[in-house]
């Protein structure tokens, strides 16, 4: 089957080409993002393969459908960037990779916790400059602290498990508590989680209910000096509100792998350009903020699984046989 692969980086090509030896599809790689201006590249391709910052709104889907596309094969678990109603109206199937490596994302969230706690990003630069002073690097023992996990699906549960291993008390909030939750995991109301957690980590999807879940009112209910970690989706956090929270000291440390306007920034080398996103640039000025550019998923194991499941989805759609991880029963509203 002919597949137009958008936002494809060298590492995507490497892993997709390897997995495709077992599937034999005709893959055309485009390094540009899918957008109204680039959708015409997919003319004549029955399948379009897209990533998290590709635009899959109604306008783009209509362009793709007119060009003959019938399958959207997402290389991601999240599908908040797809207009599912438009896809259904246009008779398009949307497939995703439901779980490629929840360990990769949970472990990266822990890396942000550890890095921020001991300020390893500052220590690294200091030591390189011959500055061995410890002022400003003071951390705290994780042992005995309270961690709040918002969203206890595949990733949130693994994150909770790791933090439990450090000797933390772990609170959780989820409208659908997990049946696999261990007995030490305490489901509490969001209010209590905000009020008692020293560290809060976001592992819920972006939905109308979680859009700006972390806003000024939520931050006001958190413990002074709280550490906030977001590896979920950027828009779960109101960036202006966290900047105000950092300025007031209510937020003591902030770790982000996702950002609400990231599609204009992440996955590209912009080091030769002037970045005109003032909110993002303000975030980078805080010594107690650690930002990574949506790399939580980026492990060898995850890329292998993404490539294999994506191509298996395309094969299943093409042949009508095998498992197709269709987005359909899930609803965003
Ligand atoms: P999952 O579907 O296994 O779990 C999500 C959990 O969030 C479910 O238990 C659900 O009930 C819960 N939830 C839904 N609404 C909620 C709310 N209002 N409050 C609290 N919990 C709520 O998803 P998984 O695989 O654990 O992924 C979680 C999220 O992580 C994804 O939706 C995606 O946005 C993000 N992600 C980020 C990656 C990265 O590289 N930074 C990579 C992969 C996923």
Q: Choosing from 262, 263, 308, 325, which is the catalytic residue? A: 262
76 and 124 assigned to the same domain? no
**Domain around 126:** 102-291
- pLDDT tens string, the chain, 333 residues long: the values are 999 999 999 999 999 999 999 999 999 999 999 999 999 999 999 999 999 999 999 999 999 999 999 999 999 988 999 999 999 999 999 999 998 899 999 999 999 999 999 999 999 999 999 999 999 999 999 999 999 999 999 999 999 999 999 999 999 999 999 999 999 999 999 999 999 999 999 999 999 999 999 999 999 999 999 999 999 999 999 999 999 999 999 999 999 999 999 999 999 999 999 999 999 999 999 999 999 999 999 999 999 999 999 999 999 999 999 999 999 744 432
Overall domain count for the chain: 2
Residues 6+ apart with CB under 8 A from 182: 160, 161, 164
Distance 257 CA to ligand 1 centre (A): 14
Rounded CA-CA distance 233/257 in Å is 8
Q: Give the pair of three-digit tokens for residue 224.
A: 């002074």
Domain-embedded: residue 10? yes
Q: Is residue 269 part of a domain?
A: yes
CATH number of the domain to which 115 belongs: 3.40.50.720
Give the integer Cα–Cα distance in Å for 171 and 185. Answer: 6
Sign of CA dihedral 270, 274, 279, 282: positive
294 is catalytic: yes
| Claim to verify: residue 204 and residue 270 sit in the same structural domain | yes
| Length of the chain counted residue by residue | 333
Our answer on whether the CB atom of 204 is closer than 6 Å to any ligand 1 atom is yes
Coil vs helix vs strand at 293: coil
| E-strand stretches of 22-163 | 26-29, 47-50, 71-74, 93-95, 146-150
My answer on whether 39 and 121 are in the same domain is no
Asked if the structure places residue 118 within a domain, the reply is yes
The answer to the question of residue 126 being in a domain is: yes
The first and second tokens of residue 172, run together, are 């959780």
pTM, rounded to two decimals: 0.93
Q: What is the pLDDT of residue 331?
A: 41
Same domain, 48 and 135: no
Residue 115: predicted pLDDT: 98
Determine, yes or no, domain membership for 332.
Answer: no
Q: What integer pLDDT is reported at residue 291 of this predicted model?
A: 98
One domain, residues 305 and 277: no
What pLDDT, on the 0 to 100 scale, is given for residue 243?
Answer: 98
Active-site residue 108, yes or no? no
Ligand 1, residues 189, 204, 229: which to mutate, most atoms within 8 A of Cβ? 204
Predicted local distance difference test score (pLDDT) of residue 14:
98
Can you read off the two tokens belonging to residue 91? Answer: 């008779």
> Partners of 255 in the beta sheet?
229, 290
Is the same domain home to 25 and 73? yes
In a domain, 90, yes or no: yes
Q: Which helix (H) or strand (E) holds 178?
A: none
Angle value at C-alpha 58, between 56 and 62, nearest 5 degrees: 95
Active-site annotation holds for 262: yes
Q: 213 and 258 share a domain? A: yes
Does residue 329 belong to any structural domain of this protein? no
pLDDT score of 333: 28
Q: DSSP E strands: which ranges in 151-250?
A: 169-173, 186-187, 199-202, 226-230
For ligand 1, is residue 111 a contact (CB within 6 Å)?
no
Residues 18 and 54 in one domain: yes
């Amino acid at each position: 089957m002919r597949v137009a692969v958008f936002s494809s980086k060298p590492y995507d090509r490497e892993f997709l080409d390897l997995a495709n030896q077992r599937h034999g599809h005709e893959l055309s790689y485009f390094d540009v993002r899918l957008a109204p201006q680039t959708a015409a590249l997919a003319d004549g391709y029955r399948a379009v393969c897209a990533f998290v910052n590709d635009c899959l709104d109604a306008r783009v889907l209509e362009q793709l459908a007119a060009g003959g596309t019938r399958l959207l094969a997402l290389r991601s678990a999240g599908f908040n960037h797809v207009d599912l109603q438009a896809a259904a109206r246009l008779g398009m199937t949307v497939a995703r990779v439901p779980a490629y490596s929840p360990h990769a994302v949970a472990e990266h969230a822990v890396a942000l916790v550890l890095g921020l706690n001991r300020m390893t990003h500052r220590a690294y630069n200091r030591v390189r400059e011959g500055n061995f002073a410890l002022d400003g690097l003071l951390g705290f023992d994780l042992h005995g602290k309270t961690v709040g996990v918002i969203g206890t699906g595949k990733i949130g549960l693994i994150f909770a498990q790791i933090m439990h291993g450090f000797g933390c008390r772990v609170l959780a909030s989820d409208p659908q508590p997990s049946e696999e939750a261990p007995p030490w995991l305490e489901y509490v109301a969001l209010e209590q989680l905000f009020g008692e957690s020293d560290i809060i980590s976001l592992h819920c999807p972006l939905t109308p209910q979680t859009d700006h879940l972390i806003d000024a009112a939520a931050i006001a209910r958190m413990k002074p000096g709280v550490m906030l970690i977001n590896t979920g989706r950027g828009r779960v956090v109101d960036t202006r509100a966290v900047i105000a929270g950092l300025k007031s000291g209510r937020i003591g440390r902030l770790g982000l792998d996702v950002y609400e306007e990231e599609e204009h920034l992440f996955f590209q080398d912009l080091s030769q350009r002037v970045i005109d996103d003032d909110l993002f640039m303000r975030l980078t000025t805080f010594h107690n903020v650690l930002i990574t550019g949506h790399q939580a998923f980026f492990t060898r194991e995850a890329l292998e699984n993404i490539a294999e499941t994506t191509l298996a989805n395309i094969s299943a759609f093409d042949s009508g046989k095998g498992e197709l991880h269709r987005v359909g029963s899930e609803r965003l509203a």
